[in-house]
Amino acid sequence: MLFRRSFLALTALLFSSISFSQILHTIADGGNKKASVSERIGITDVTIQYDRPAVKGREGKIWGELVHKGFADLGFGTSKAAPWRAGANENTTIYFSTDVTVEGKALPAGTYGLFMAMGDGDATIIFSKNSTSWGSYFYDPKEDALRVHVKTASLPESVERLRYEFMDEKENSASIALLWEKLKIPFRVEVDYVKTQLESFRKELRNEKGFRWEAWVEAIDFCVQRNVNLEEALQWSDYAITGVFVGQRNFRTLGAKASVLAKLGKNAEAESLMKEAMPLATLQELHNYGRQLLREKRPVQALEAFKLNAQRNPNVYTTQMGLVRGYSANGDFKNALKYAKAAQPLAPDKANKDVLDGFIKMLEAEKDINQ
C-alpha cells in the first residue's frame, strides 16, 4: 500500500513537471515565431535574436495599448518602470563583435538586451548589460549600457509580423529598423572600419595566417589603398620579404614595399625597388602593374613595363594589348595601331575581338583608348 502511494505521488510529480516545462521543440506560447537576423558591417558581425508577435487584426491597437508608452509597472517581476521588450517572450538581444557607435554614441562589443520606451513619434532605444532575463519584467536602469533617442516613422502598409531589417548599408554603417504594424523604429550603427580592420590584421598575422607572405601583402595593400598606418605597413613589408619561414623576394612583396615607400614620399627608393621587382613578375602581374601605372597617370613608366612584358612574352594577346595601351597613352597612335592590328589574330574570343576592333577605330581617329 505504501509503495502504491509513493508510486502515485511520483507519477503526479512527474506529470506536474512536464506540464510546466517544455522539453521538446514546439511553437512558442501565443504563436510568436523565433527569429534571428545577422549582417556584417565592415568586419563587424551584428546579430539580433528576437520573437515575432503578429498583429492578428489589432491594427490601431498595437502602439499605446498592446505596447505601452514609456515605462510601466507590468504587474510581474521586479521592475516597476519597465520599457517594452522590443519583441515578445524572452529578451530581444543584439550582438556586436566589435566596438560600435549607435546614433553617434559609443557602445563596446558584446551582447545586450534590447528594449524600447515608446513615445509620440519617437522612442528611446535601450541597450542593457542584462541579456538573459525574461522580457523586460526584471529591467533595471542601473544595467543600461547605452540609451539613444530616435524618431519613428509611419509605414504605408501594415507589417503583420514584427521583424528587424538592416537598411541603407554602407561600408562602415547601416540602419537597423524594427518594423511592425504601421510603424518603423530605426537606429544607426557605425563602425570604425579602418581601426577594426587593422586590429584584426594584427591578431591574424600572429596566428597561422602570418606564416604566409600573401597575408602580409594583403594587410599592406589595405593600408596603401586607404593611406593609413603606413609606418607599420613598412615594417610589415620588410617581414614579407625577409621574415623567417615567411619572407619571399618576389614581385608582389617588393611591389608592396615600393607602394608604401611611394606613399611616404620616398619615390627614388620605390622606383629602385620596382626595377628589381619587374623581372620577377609573371605575365599577368607585369600587365596589371602597367595598367596601374596608367591609372596613376604615369604613361612613360607604364610603357616600359608593357615593353618588358612583350619582350619576355612575345606574340601573346595580353602583352600585345599592353603595348597598344602604352603607346596610345603616350600619344604614339601609329605604333599603337600597329600592335592593335598584330593582336587581332591573337584575340581569344569574339568579345575581345570586338573590343579590339573598337580600339582600332579610335586609334585611326587618333583618340586615346585609355580615356
| Low-confidence residues in the chain, pLDDT < 70 | 1-31
* Tens digits of residue pLDDT in 53-72: 999 999 999 999 999 999 99
pLDDT score recorded for residue 21: 45
Confidence (pLDDT) at 185: 98
DSSP-assigned letter for residue 130: -
Give the integer Cα–Cα distance in Å for 201 and 17.
51
**What is residue 371's predicted lDDT score, i.e. its pLDDT?**
86
Query: Whose CA is closest to 162, among 63, 65, 77?
Result: 63
List residues bridging with 46 in a β-sheet.
Answer: 39, 96
Residue 367's pLDDT is 96
What single-letter DSSP state applies at residue 141? G
219 closest CA partner among 246, 244, 245, 179 = 246
Nearest to 91 by CA among 139, 33, 147: 139
What digits encode the pLDDT tens for the residues 6-22? Answer: 333 334 433 333 334 45
Of 38, 41, 46, nearest to 197 by C-alpha is 41
What length is written for the chain? Answer: 371
Full set of structural domains in the chain with CATH = 29-191 (no CATH), 193-280 (1.25.40), 291-371 (1.25.40)
pTM of the model: 0.76
Backbone phi, psi, residue 151, to 5°: -90, 140
Q: What is the full DSSP assignment across 20-54?
A: HS--S--PPGGGPEEEEEEEEETTEEEEEEEEE-B
Q: What is the pLDDT of residue 28?
A: 54
